[in-house]
Amino acid sequence: MPVQVFSFYIFDRHSHRVHLLQALDRPLHHHAPLSTSHTSSDHLLTSPPTSSSATLHPHRASAPAGSLPTSSSSTNNGISGGGAYRDSRSAATRAKDDAKLIFGTVFSLRNMVRKLGGDDDAFISYRTAQYKLHYYETPSSLRFAMLTEPGALSMRNVLHQIYINLWVEYGEFISVYLGREFLRERVCSIEDDKKKTRNGSDFRGPSPLSKTPLSPVEHKNGDGVRNEMFEMGLDKFVRGLM
């Protein structure tokens, strides 16, 4: 049974959005080819943190909103302007705000459900007249949220499959790998700073990369998964549902 999937979010335990896939349905979108909105979301997800505070404190969970450039993508919003029915925000800002709102909603509902139904209870889905949100949370507090058409059946197993077959299979492995790369860049820049302060003494300490954390790699500053295989697999999977 085909299901219209509107969008799909993954949040890590620090509430940072890890992945966003927007796959709108065909009839409402016919002037543009059906595609994941990488043009706008990649901009958000894969922008490297350039501020020096982020480089100096790689382990601090800084707020994702602060360091993201948003103004650059506001110009290529095709349907801007146009009267009272237009949202004045740019598409990128809107996507970011939506992600925050979805996380907030899901988080409060989850807490509410736990309070009412006991600690073993889990929030599964909610439905409005326009859409239905399916939710799945892993034991490590990785949160999956999928927005579909309101008539969709329970997608819990689908989210579970995405976790098992895609996230664990590609995502985790390669994000650990990429996380290392990412760390290496940061470490190098820190060490460069150190070198500068030491007036060129050729110091290279033991690489902290050997201490790669076993816990899931953090995705700071709204940094995306940045994993082609995962994204392709997810794209294919979600497309298969529709």
Site residues (CB under 8 A) for other proteins? 6-7, 24, 28-29, 79, 82-83, 85-87, 98, 101-102, 104-105, 108-109, 112-113, 115-118, 120-131, 133, 147, 154
Are the C-beta atoms of residues 68 and 47 closer than 8 Å to each other? yes
Output the smallest distance, CB 149 to other proteins, in A.
Answer: 9
**Angle 216-220-224 from CA coordinates, rounded to 5°:** 80
Question: How far is the C-alpha of 40 from the C-alpha of 20, rounded, in Å?
Answer: 10
Task: Give the three-state DSSP class for 19.
Answer: strand
Nearer to other proteins, 109 or 187 (CB): 109
Question: What is the Cα–Cα distance from 177 to 198, expressed in whole angstroms?
Answer: 31
Q: Which residues contact 239 (CB under 8 A, 6 or more apart)?
A: 23
Residue 138 Cβ vs other proteins, minimum distance, rounded to whole Å: 15
Task: State the minimum distance, in angstroms, from the CB of residue 111 to other proteins.
Answer: 8
Nearer residue to other proteins within complex by CB, 86 or 160: 86
Q: How far is the CB of 154 from other proteins (least distance, A)?
A: 8
CA distances to 165, 214, 222 from 173, in Å: 12, 11, 19
What's the Cα-to-Cα distance from 59 to each of 68, 83, 212, 217, 225, rounded to whole Å? 18, 45, 12, 11, 18
Question: What distances in angstroms separate CA 49 from CA 58, 63, 148, 182, 196, one per listed residue?
Answer: 10, 12, 32, 11, 21
- Of the chain, the end-to-end C-alpha distance in Å amounts to 8
Question: Considering beta carbons, is residue 55 or 105 the nearer one to other proteins?
Answer: 105
CB 213 to other proteins: min, Å: 31
- Is 6 or 173 the residue whose CB approaches other proteins more closely? 6
Q: Which one, 28 or 214, has the nearer CB to other proteins?
A: 28
At closest approach, how far in Å is the CB of 87 from other proteins?
7
* CA-wise closest residue to 42 among 106, 103, 95: 95
**CA 108 to CA 190: how far, in whole Å?**
38
Nearer residue to other proteins within complex by CB, 142 or 155: 155
Work out how close the CB of 16 gets to other proteins at its nearest, in angstroms, rounded to a whole number.
19
| Closer residue to other proteins, CB minimum distance, 87 or 185 | 87
